[in-house]
Amino acid sequence: MRIVLFVLLLCWPALAVAQNAATLVADRVELNGEDQLIASGNVAVLFEGSQLTASQIIFDQPSDTLRIVGPIVIQAADGTLLTADSATLDPRLENGILQSARIVLDQQLQLAANQIDRREGRFSQLYKTSATSCRVCGTRPPLWEIRAERVIYDAQEQQIYFRNATFRVRDIPVLWLPRMRLPDPALQRSTGLLVPEQRNTTQLGFGIKLPYFITLGDHRDITVTPYVSQETSTLELRYRQAFETGRVTVEGAISEDTLVDENRWYLFADGRFALQNDYQLIFDIEATSDDAYLLDYDYSDKDRLDSAIQWLRVTDMSLYNARLTYYQTLRDDESNASLPPFIADLTVESSFEPSFGGLIRYGTSFDLAYRSSDVDGDDGRDVARLGAGGAWSDSWTLPYGLIADAQAGLRTDVYLVADDVAFAQEDLRVAPRAGVTLRWPLARLGANGTTHLLEPVVSLSWSDSYGGTPPNEDSLRTELDRANLTAISRFAGEDRIETGAQAAAGLTWTRFGAAGLTSTLSFGRVIRQEAQDGFTATSGLDGRQSDWLVAAQVTAPGGFLLDARSLWDDTDGLTVADSRVAWQNDFVSLGANYIWLGPDADEDRTETISEWTVDAAFVLNDAWTFEIDGRYDIAADQAISAGAGLQWQNECVTVNVSASRRFTSSSTVEPTTTFGLSGSIGSFSAGGAVTGCEN
């Protein structure tokens, strides 16, 4: 019969003081004289979150020690697990010796030793030690292990120190180090060398990266990564700092290589801070030494860099947004001077609910596009706009389930134009607008539990523009889609406004299957009183009648997704098509995107674009994962990019092998093939179990 010895604390004052009210549970307890207590049979000691189990414990009061007979298991409050055959410890389990012992840290890394000396409840000194995160099954050696003459584990600092250490793979020594330090697997941040990465490219040759992580207190760190190959000497840096109200990240690199004669570099930085009264300060910096550097070193595939600072405040009833942006082009056919490189915009909006119903929004805005060139015309034009406006909107539910939305508004803009004689230097524009939209959702429940929802929609609107016609800086790319079918103006920016009367009609049919299959089909069209300037031929919005919009979506519980949109012209047929199909489960992930765009001189596209993009991942078994991706230009009958990756992972090791090819070229970049090899050791870079063996 098990005995819980709470009364022991009253009978043995010394033990009560030493153990600070520990609890001893055992099948049998006996007193051997007046100074020795023997507990045996399913013995357990509970103390301040720690638990010890053993077959027998002998407490000797004169020496204030516990002699413990195993098998011994000690579960510490921090999750550390110790096992041993026998031990001599103090009653607090902080000091003593464990024979034939093992420490398991964070259920990942195990340290097995002939003897472990515990000191101050913090230090564990191990002799003739083997450390691994792999499964240890019988006499078979683990995939990898570190053998050391002596190991010291500092539980407070969460560090493991090895002396005279040998790294072995399948019991074959591959590396010897006189001293080595590794972090506890539970430690999130620790100064030290990270996992090296091998990189091999046709331009830079065979190279290796050796990242070194340095903590600078609890809230800052820096990663220094030397990258050395046959063709380059590069130093990569990443700095991070967390503040009470925000964070900052800075990363960059500097290179000396054989591709160009000058030093090359890049710098990316971003940050976000929460200010008083719900304001936010957001910034990012992007810069590089030359157009090809980011692609050559695979740092980024951006072809335009943007550096910006933003002051933002968003509430339920107001918006304040001030942003200044500088653009740097990396494209062969563009220059920074003509982008324009400097863009400034300011928006202040507020709203309230008037007594007669609905919602009123009002506000002001300011835009500036500045080019450093003094050339007259598009390449040198500078434009500033100051605008103010307001709008009212409301919605009602009418008889028979009809839903009506109405809106009306007025906007006034003042434009200042320089370095372009085709436009007036000062111009004023006033633009009123009004519109109403009717929706009639109709639902039907089938006999098998399927639900059908049919929603026709019709909108009537009018808008006009009084005054001059300013240059178009921000409304160059707009396409018809489901989101803007019933909008009064579909231009993306402020410089262009759709004018005249127009009507839009559409129909959406949605089917909710009883088995979870959901499908949606939508189509619609816009008819105008007059044709509009500013829309491109493939936008679907040029002319008095827009193209037909046809869109569909299908989702299934098994992980299947189909999302497609197309625009159809009455004369020329298909003008735009884009779609994605995907399917995934626990073992397979498949995805493909297709895009088709006809020629359009206004969008600087002289030929048809027809491209496939595919991505797939396959979990072959518990250890192997295979991934592929690619992009193919059907119109040009050539590949754009392709890549493949293979990962092998078990409970203690992860190895990644990858290969990629960029086929495109220009005056600044060449086609490049890249091979990569990286890996990680379980418990120091990724979690993994260390117990259990396969049959």
Tell me, what DSSP letter sits at residue 398?
Answer: P
User: What's the whole-number mean pLDDT along residues 642-648?
Assistant: 94
Q: Pick the more confident residue, 557 or 460.
A: 460
Which pLDDT score is estimated for 10? 32
User: What's the whole-number mean pLDDT along residues 91-105?
Assistant: 84
Which pLDDT score is estimated for 659? 93
Report residue 253's pLDDT band, with 50, 70 and 90 as the boundaries: very high
Q: What is the β-pairing status of strands 426-439 and 451-463? A: antiparallel
Tell me, what DSSP letter sits at residue 18?
Answer: H
| Burial tier of 79 (Cβ tally within 10 Å: 0-12, 13-18, 19+) | exposed
Lowest mean pLDDT among 111-125, 273-287, 425-439: 111-125
The pair of three-digit structure tokens given for residue 487, joined into one six-digit string: 């909008």
Does residue 317 have a pLDDT over 90?
yes
Strand extents, DSSP E, 571-622: 573-584, 588-597, 609-619
Which pLDDT score is estimated for 3? 39
Does residue 4 have a pLDDT over 50?
no
Contact (Cβ atoms closer than 8 angstroms) between residue 613 and residue 593:
yes
Q: Pick the more confident residue, 472 or 77.
A: 472
Report residue 21's pLDDT band, with 50, 70 and 90 as the boundaries: low
CA distances to 623, 659, 669 from 231, rounded to whole Å, are 35, 19, 16
Which residues pair with residue 79 across a beta bridge? none
Contact (Cβ atoms closer than 8 angstroms) between residue 237 and residue 221:
no
**3-state SS of 665-690?**
CCCCCCCEEEEEEEEEECCCCCCCCC
Contact (Cβ atoms closer than 8 angstroms) between residue 304 and residue 298:
no
Contact (Cβ atoms closer than 8 angstroms) between residue 25 and residue 3:
yes
Letter string b/e over residues 372-383, b meaning 16 or more CB atoms within 10 A of that residue's CB = ebeeeeebbbbb
Does residue 16 have a pLDDT over 80?
no
The DSSP annotation for 51-65 comes to: EEEEEEEEEETTTTE
User: What's the whole-number mean pLDDT along residues 254-266?
Assistant: 94
Q: Does domain 3-156 have CATH number 2.60.120.10?
A: no
Report residue 2's pLDDT band, with 50, 70 and 90 as the boundaries: very low
The pair of three-digit structure tokens given for residue 6, joined into one six-digit string: 């709470």
Report residue 162's pLDDT band, with 50, 70 and 90 as the boundaries: very high
CA distance 536 to 478: 8
CA distance 38 to 54: 12
Which residues pair with residue 442 across a beta bridge? 454
Tell me, what DSSP letter sits at residue 340?
Answer: -
Contact (Cβ atoms closer than 8 angstroms) between residue 681 and residue 123:
no
Other CB atoms within 10 Å distance of the CB of residue 45? 24
The DSSP annotation for 29-45 comes to: EEE-TTSEEEEEEEEEE
Which pLDDT score is estimated for 19? 43
Listed in sequence order, the residues at least 6 apart from 588 whose beta carbon sits closer than 8 Å to its beta carbon are 616, 617, 618, 619
User: What's the whole-number mean pLDDT along residues 101-106?
Assistant: 86
Helix and strand element counts for the chain (H, E): 3, 43
Does residue 576 have a pLDDT over 90?
yes
Which pLDDT score is estimated for 78? 74
Report residue 684's pLDDT band, with 50, 70 and 90 as the boundaries: low
Does residue 8 have a pLDDT over 50?
no
Contact (Cβ atoms closer than 8 angstroms) between residue 306 and residue 323:
no
Lowest mean pLDDT among 81-85, 93-97, 593-597, 671-675: 93-97
Mean pLDDT of the chain: 88
Q: Which residue has the tokens 């060449």?
A: 670
Which pLDDT score is estimated for 18? 42
Tens digit of each residue's pLDDT (9 = 90 or more) over 357-395: 999 999 999 999 999 888 888 889 999 999 999 999 999
The DSSP annotation for 88-156 comes to: EE-TTSSSEEEEEEEEEETTTEEEEEEEEEEETTTEEEEEEEEEESS---TTSPPSEEEEEEEEEEETT
pTM: 0.81
User: What's the whole-number mean pLDDT along residues 208-220?
Assistant: 92
Which pLDDT score is estimated for 683? 60
CA distance 490 to 497: 8
CA distance 190 to 591: 38
User: What's the whole-number mean pLDDT along residues 293-319?
Assistant: 94
Listed in sequence order, the residues at least 6 apart from 175 whose beta carbon sits closer than 8 Å to its beta carbon are 166, 167
CA distance 294 to 211: 19
CA distance 386 to 491: 18
Does residue 7 have a pLDDT over 70?
no
The pair of three-digit structure tokens given for residue 195, joined into one six-digit string: 């996992």
User: What's the whole-number mean pLDDT along residues 262-290?
Assistant: 96
| Burial tier of 371 (Cβ tally within 10 Å: 0-12, 13-18, 19+) | buried
Which pLDDT score is estimated for 236? 97
The pair of three-digit structure tokens given for residue 669, joined into one six-digit string: 């970049």
The pair of three-digit structure tokens given for residue 471, joined into one six-digit string: 């240059």
Other CB atoms within 10 Å distance of the CB of residue 529? 11
Give the helix/strand (H/E) hosting 294: helix 293-296
Contact (Cβ atoms closer than 8 angstroms) between residue 508 and residue 521:
yes
CA distances to 140, 251, 636 from 484, rounded to whole Å, are 66, 39, 32
Does residue 239 have a pLDDT over 90?
yes
Domain ranges of the chain: 3-156
User: What's the whole-number mean pLDDT along residues 188-212?
Assistant: 88
Which pLDDT score is estimated for 682? 67
HSE on the CB side for 136, CA within 13 Å?
16
Which pLDDT score is estimated for 22? 66
Residues in the chain: 695
Phi and psi torsions of 18, nearest 5°: -65, -40
Lowest mean pLDDT among 119-123, 170-174, 517-521, 608-612: 119-123
Does residue 665 have a pLDDT over 80?
no
The amino acid that residue 450 corresponds to is T
Give the helix/strand (H/E) hosting 68: strand 65-75
Which residues pair with residue 389 across a beta bridge? 363, 411
